[in-house]
Structure 1
Amino acid sequence: MTTTDPALTALANGWAALYLLYGRIEAHIERALQSGHGLSVREYSLLDVLSRQHDGEGGHLQMKQVADTVVLSQSATTRLVARLEDRGLLSRYLCPTDRRGIYTDVSDAGLKLLQEALWLVSGSPPSPGDRPRSRTCARGNRTTTRGSWTRRGPSPKT
């Protein structure tokens, strides 16, 4: 017969309880987001992460960074981005300095939906100063069309 360390047993029991509680909270938020705003928790998380981007150095995330942040594979993240882009909540564009890079921005409709859904996740109605809000992103140098990306303005350095 083996003896089990009581501290290890308590730790394992605590972890199991935390995992169960997390699942219940996520399921509750999922139902509320779906019924109230037509969003899944993953979609909400993606919109939230992308809404925090800015035009400063390191302000835009590459798809791998986005995938790591929302804890999805790159292919699952790309499919999720495509679905939200089809709904008009996101737009993709070529990186102005690296032709291989594709960045994603939250559209005005996406920001509005995120703002409406924010109270469900935060537990309190948003005040006028709460994020997300329209970003001061220099969108004049890029245009997007579903399935293809074009660039306007100066050519990137090669």
Structure 2
Amino acid sequence: MAAKTEARLEERWREILTVHARTLGEIDRALHPYGLGASDFEVLDLLATATPRDGEQCRVQNLVGRLHLSQSALSRLIARLEKDGLVERSLCLEDRRGVYVRLTGKGRALHGEVLPLQRAALARTLGE
């Protein structure tokens, strides 16, 4: 009985990985003409939908837990988005180790342009 349960879990896990890979590939293909990948979009989307309290900004550290990237990979991705003029980084004055990140006008506009493409890719791969 335990072997059957284990085999079902293993099969379900592989199904999840297959859907994940297929979905990322679909998003990457849809966003490639805009110079974005799935992870790039996720950062833009989180920043676009984040609603920090008045006067607060989004800390990079807060994004790490919401994305499936290491701290260093996220830092490199944000540096690339900043180089492309899509986000701005600033240091936290209270904690010099902290870094804030926010969308620029260009980043917000690009996010709005590609959002329907990303959502359509999700619908194609995850829709009922």
TM-score grouping bracket, smaller chain normalisation: 0.7 to 0.9
TM-score (norm 1): 0.66
- Checking the alignment, whether the CA contact within 8 Å between 1:53 and 1:60 is kept in structure 2 is no
Matched-pair identity in %? 32
In the other structure, the counterpart of 1:48 is: 45
Gaps in structure 1 of 5+ consecutive residues: 125-158
Residue 78 in structure 1 maps to residue 70 in structure 2: no
Q: What corresponds to 1:26 in structure 2?
A: 24
1:105 aligned counterpart, secondary structure: strand
Q: Is the 8 A contact 2:58 2:102 kept in 1?
A: no
Greater Rg over alpha carbons, structure: 1
Residue number in structure 1 paired with 2:118: 121
Give the helix-richer structure, 1 or 2: 2
After superposing the two structures, state which structure 1 stretch, 46-55 or 72-81, moved more: 46-55
Q: When the two structures are superposed, what TM-score results if normalisation uses the length of structure 2?
A: 0.80
Match of residue 94, structure 1, among 91, 96, 105: 91
- Which residue of 2 is the match for residue 155 of structure 1? none
What is the alpha-carbon root mean square deviation over aligned residues?
2.4
Aligned pairs for 1:54-69 within 5 A: 54-56=51-53, 60-69=57-66
Deviation at residue 59 of structure 1 after TM alignment: 5.0
1:34-87: per-residue Cα shift (whole Å, max 9, x none)?
A: 13x210111001111122334516953322222222121222111111111111
Q: How many equivalent residue pairs?
A: 121
